[in-house]
Amino acid sequence: MFETNFVIVTGFLGTGKTTFIIELAKRLTEEKDKKINILVNDFGQIAIDGETLNDFGMEAKRITKGCVCCEVKQDLVAQIRDLKKNFEPDIIILETSGVASLLPIYRTVEQYVDEIETLTLIDVSRYDKLMEKFRTVENQLTFADRILINKIDLADDEEMKKIEEKVSKFLNKENPDGQLHKISARKKIGLENVVSGIVQ
């Protein structure tokens, strides 16, 4: 049986998931010689001004009838089976919807893939607001292997220090094994360690 690894990318709408995945997929293809397939669960979301995967010539399959963490789990399983059979990817990357909880997705896919890596993006400028309002953001941070503070190009040193302290405090309590990375998906900063964390 062909072994496929699976990368789940969560983060609220607008945190930079698509931008990050484009860069991640490029690097895994070019630098690590991996065959990548991408799944996007973008139900009910209006694409903001971010790039879309297809603009970059990446074949992305969409799951649009509901959230893969709840009502369309079976669609996700069907897509994974289909990709494995037809493309034999080394790695499948899933962009979840902004409101998806991580754990149910993990549980759904674990029996169909070899290794799962969970990544959660947060946005320097919206961390406080999102943490206050959305329980799912807490869930996304709690069950992530890696937490990526994205858009560091928008924050000065003082702001960066503050947000790092807040995120570290949360992780110490809720997810002490979670690895923290500071990145800019758009400016392509800090991505090397994330890539090598996925493929040594």
Ligand X SMILES: Nc1nc2c(ncn2[C@@H]2O[C@H](COP(=O)(O)OP(=O)(O)O)[C@@H](O)[C@H]2O)c(=O)[nH]1
Sites of contact with Mg ion (CB under 5 A): 17-18
Establish if 4 lies at the interface with ligand X (CB under 6 A).
Answer: no
Establish if 163 lies at the interface with ligand X (CB under 6 A).
Answer: no
Least Å distance, CB 168 to Mg ion, is 26
Is 22:56 a contact under the CB 8 Å cutoff? Answer: yes
Q: Which helix (H) or strand (E) holds 72?
A: none
Establish if 80 lies at the interface with ligand X (CB under 6 A).
Answer: no
The option from ligand X, Mg ion, none interacting with 15 (CB < 5 to 8 A, set by class) reads ligand X
> Which spans in the chain are helix H?
17-30, 73-87, 102-109, 127-133, 135-142, 157-174, 192-198
The DSSP code sequence of 54-65 is GGGT--EEE--S
Which residue type does 87 have? F
Establish if 41 lies at the interface with ligand X (CB under 6 A).
Answer: no
Which residue type does 60 have? A
Nearest-CB residue to ligand X?
50
Least Å distance, CB 26 to ligand X, is 14
Phi, then psi, of 106 in degrees rounded to 5: -55, -50
| Chain-centre distance for alpha carbon 54 | 17
Q: What SS3 state is found at 121? A: strand
From residue 165 to residue 194, what is the string marking binding to ligand X with x (rule CB under 6 A)? -------------------xxxx-------
The option from ligand X, Mg ion, none interacting with 58 (CB < 5 to 8 A, set by class) reads none
| Total chain residues near ligand X (CB under 6 A) | 19
| Chain-centre distance for alpha carbon 19 | 10
The option from Mg ion, ligand X, none interacting with 184 (CB < 5 to 8 A, set by class) reads ligand X
CB-count exposure of residue 61 (10 Å: 0-12, 13-18, 19+): middle
Cβ closest to Mg ion, residue 185 vs residue 198? 185
Cβ closest to ligand X, residue 37 vs residue 184? 184
Establish if 136 lies at the interface with ligand X (CB under 6 A).
Answer: no
> Which residues bind to ligand X, rule: CB under 6 A?
11, 13-19, 48-50, 150-151, 153-154, 184-187
